[in-house]
A and B are shown apart, each in its own frame.
Chain A
């Protein structure tokens, strides 16, 4: 197992190298650069723009720029943002925790909803509850996150029960620690619900499908014939097998914990990574985009690895050596 993990980690290196090269080329070769915005500012002369270009190192040939960036990455120096003139590491760091909290909350909601509901739907196939849950699932999958986000915001406005977006209230700094946690939790409800319910919809369908397939197997029929009660049959035997593919999905979701949902964050005003990355891509803030792409790739690959390890742990039939 350990050798397997080591091999996977080593494989990451050429992969990340390839990802960084392709990303760099794509950003640089697309039309325009960071200075496009300021070129259209009538107060700024062309000479000043040229000077800025030199300051940012954008006048160097592409391969020089790439190698310089690579060299600093290897020393964990992620460079400076053009727009904000702060270290990229700091910039991303301020938003990282927020995105993590949101995605974790959404993950918990999604799984806690999907698994029991999926099981219930599978065990009562084609019943009224199954059909209505499937209907809800379809609605959940097809509703865009910004729409449900806006709806919930409007609901919050009308009823006054929930804060209208944001992550903290005005006097957050003045609250004691416990109240601060509660404050963030209250603000978390709307975005986490939107993301969680949306994800739960798809997962539920998965769970239901997997379980139905397993319930048709011979060994399940044998267990029932043996006289085992319904509950242990389902939970001890069937679900444990049905949940295998979902473990892989879970691993992928861990890989996606740091990817922000830019649209939702924009709609509810959650200060997360997604918004930052989207803005930077549009503005072509080179080093921020590169750092976030590398971050995304690393977490994705690690997520895959975790998924495979979890699978080996859960299913004794799977061995890697």
Chain B
């Protein structure tokens, strides 16, 4: 009898234990005050709490107002103190839930419904609800509010519609003939701002709102939904962020992120000072210049840091020829509009000389508009244009250009091929590239004069008078050119540099690019998007409206006491600044440093 009872007891205990473990195994991490936190899956280690991460930036931020912020340094602060509805995984490029935990698409494909996580709070404890999201959207579209967040939410002049369903759900509807997928990508860029702190300012008008949360802000007025909270800013010297103890993300073990206690950015305008401070162990991270890579590698042990053979940036530098008939007259117009001419010149550029002499070997041969740093969409099937003066001369000959007895190249009508190349003075790299390229083209018999000029003058020519022939210039890039580079690639765009604001596409290939850029926002399937981007790069590669220069590599140097350093796709960092180190999961390996 007793044995029976004890065996029943044993079975019961075993069963309960089994049930308990099964229940535990299936459950996601949860926090006492947040039922379904976001879980970070990219960080390799589980970190320890505590520590200060010190890094540097090259100029002061311009504002702390997330809606108005447009420059890089302000952007780094804003990223640290805000969250958006969705996020893009900086390693894989996939869309991830952020403030929104889930979303659905209506049957007609025009309406998205987002559901916010339950019990979200701001850093001061106030609840974060759809009211804040609606407030953010209203602020963006208020007249008088500066900033570029309006453009991602406007489709051909019509703005996206939104509707609050309840405290946790909001609905977005895109205009009738516009596919809604692009919305998704654009929502990443929209930081949600607190209504309870900013409603007063918005009530006073757009201009007043643009000035709120500026540099003269009182730290108590700023609340955060991001990993960090703003603590202080000393003009010209540094700004300090501290851990947000109410952040909505946890690590794989359910520990609330971030691990760091303080994140300090020193404002060091001078590259030399920045390097010296890093070597003196006063900062933990340094963005090295190409020529410093080799030397830094040798100092790794002594300085207790690692310098990474970093990913290439998304930015690209290129040479553009002016194909605008309103600005350039024949015969030059004929040369610049001739794709064979441009291809020949591409063969004549000695890219390796540029890589060695300008970038100390720290650059990769270019192919097309999307650089090799963009692991999601880079088209590796395209081979860089091989360097060959003979090949260039052959292509020119086929196109009707002949070299005269005086050594100068002439077109079929007998005009000497000559043009003026400009770039912005003060940019040492571009000036060096310009000189090398001028020498390359001279070997073909082309008369090139290369004239660096002031940046405002350059911009005036590019966007106002169009009075230029060839320009060497560059853009920084992003993961999704389909969203962020529309002004460049749409034939109607203001920055369609070689022939802006076309009424209808001037060539077949420009028409095809227009079609691709119209379809991209509609395409949900990642594989199909990739195909479209591949085709886009092929078109650019064949027709060369821009002749690309080598893609620049980065060489970030980071102290070994910092853990979870994982270099992702450059250009998108979920935490804080400079390149690719996510501060959300960064932790301090060394002895505790308060």
Chain A residues proximal to chain B, CB less than 8 Å: 30-33, 36-46, 48, 52, 55, 80, 83-87, 90-91, 94-95, 98, 150, 153-154, 157, 160, 164-168, 170, 173, 266-272, 275-276, 279, 284
B151 touches A52 (CB 8 A): no
- Tell me, rounded to whole Å, the shortest Cβ–Cβ distance linking B539 to chain A: 18
Looking across the interface, which residue of chain A has its beta carbon closest to that of B189? Answer: A43
**What are 25 A-B pairs at a CB distance below 8 A?**
A30-B456, A32-B456, A33-B456, A36-B459, A38-B148, A40-B462, A40-B463, A42-B484, A44-B70, A44-B151, A80-B211, A83-B62, A85-B65, A85-B146, A90-B215, A94-B236, A150-B272, A153-B276, A157-B279, A164-B273, A167-B236, A167-B237, A269-B268, A269-B269, A271-B235
- Tell me, rounded to whole Å, the shortest Cβ–Cβ distance linking B455 to chain A: 7
A42 touches B207 (CB 8 A): no
B272 touches A86 (CB 8 A): no
A154 to B65, CA, bound (A): 37
Of the residues B146, B234, B459, contact of A52 by C-beta under 8 Å: B146
B237 touches A266 (CB 8 A): no
Which A residues touch B494, using CB under 8 A? 39, 45-46
A269 touches B270 (CB 8 A): yes
Of the residues B63, B207, B238, B280, contact of A164 by C-beta under 8 Å: B280
Question: Given A32-B456, A170-B264: A48 and B235 within 8 A (CB)?
Answer: no
A87 to B235, CA, bound (A): 14
A270 to B462, CA, bound (A): 36
Of the residues A43, A166, A276, contact of B487 by C-beta under 8 Å: A43
A55 touches B146 (CB 8 A): yes
B272 touches A42 (CB 8 A): no
Question: Given A32-B456, A32-B459, A267-B270: A42 and B150 within 8 A (CB)?
Answer: no
A284 to B456, CA, bound (A): 9
A166 touches B266 (CB 8 A): yes
A86 touches B215 (CB 8 A): yes
A154 to B235, CA, bound (A): 25
Q: Does B454 contact A (CB under 8 A)?
A: yes
Of the residues B207, B277, B279, B455, contact of A55 by C-beta under 8 Å: B207
Question: Given A39-B459, A165-B273: A84 and B151 within 8 A (CB)?
Answer: no
B236 touches A157 (CB 8 A): no
Q: Is the interface of B mostly helix, strand, loop or mixed?
A: mixed
B211 touches A85 (CB 8 A): yes
A95 to B216, CA, bound (A): 13
Chain B 440-470 against A: per-residue CB contact (8 Å), 1 yes, 0 no? 0000000000000011110110110000000
Q: Does B210 contact A (CB under 8 A)?
A: yes
A275 touches B236 (CB 8 A): yes
Chain B 216-231 against A: per-residue CB contact (8 Å), 1 yes, 0 no? 1000000000000000
A170 touches B54 (CB 8 A): yes
Which A residues touch B68, using CB under 8 A? 85
A27 to B144, CA, bound (A): 25
A48 touches B237 (CB 8 A): no
Looking across the interface, which residue of chain B has its beta carbon closest to that of A52? Answer: B146
Which A residues touch B282, using CB under 8 A? 164
B236 touches A42 (CB 8 A): no
A98 to B268, CA, bound (A): 16
Question: Given A36-B455, A55-B144: A269 and B273 within 8 A (CB)?
Answer: yes
Of the residues B65, B210, B237, B484, contact of A168 by C-beta under 8 Å: B237
Of the residues A33, A41, A271, contact of B236 by C-beta under 8 Å: A271
A36 to B267, CA, bound (A): 24
Chain B 225-258 against A: per-residue CB contact (8 Å), 1 yes, 0 no? 0000000101111100000000000000000000
Looking across the interface, which residue of chain A has its beta carbon closest to that of B210? Answer: A85
Which A residues touch B211, using CB under 8 A? 80, 85-86
B62 touches A48 (CB 8 A): no
- Tell me, rounded to whole Å, the shortest Cβ–Cβ distance linking A55 to chain B: 6
Q: Does B485 contact A (CB under 8 A)?
A: yes
B235 touches A85 (CB 8 A): no
Which B residues touch A33, using CB under 8 A? 456
A84 to B215, CA, bound (A): 7
Q: Does B361 contact A (CB under 8 A)?
A: no
Q: Does B516 contact A (CB under 8 A)?
A: no
Which A residues touch B264, using CB under 8 A? 170
B215 touches A36 (CB 8 A): no
Of the residues B60, B148, B273, contact of A267 by C-beta under 8 Å: B273
Which B residues touch A165, using CB under 8 A? 268, 270, 273, 276-277
Q: Does B291 contact A (CB under 8 A)?
A: no
- Tell me, rounded to whole Å, the shortest Cβ–Cβ distance linking A301 to chain B: 28
Which A residues touch B475, using CB under 8 A? 40, 42
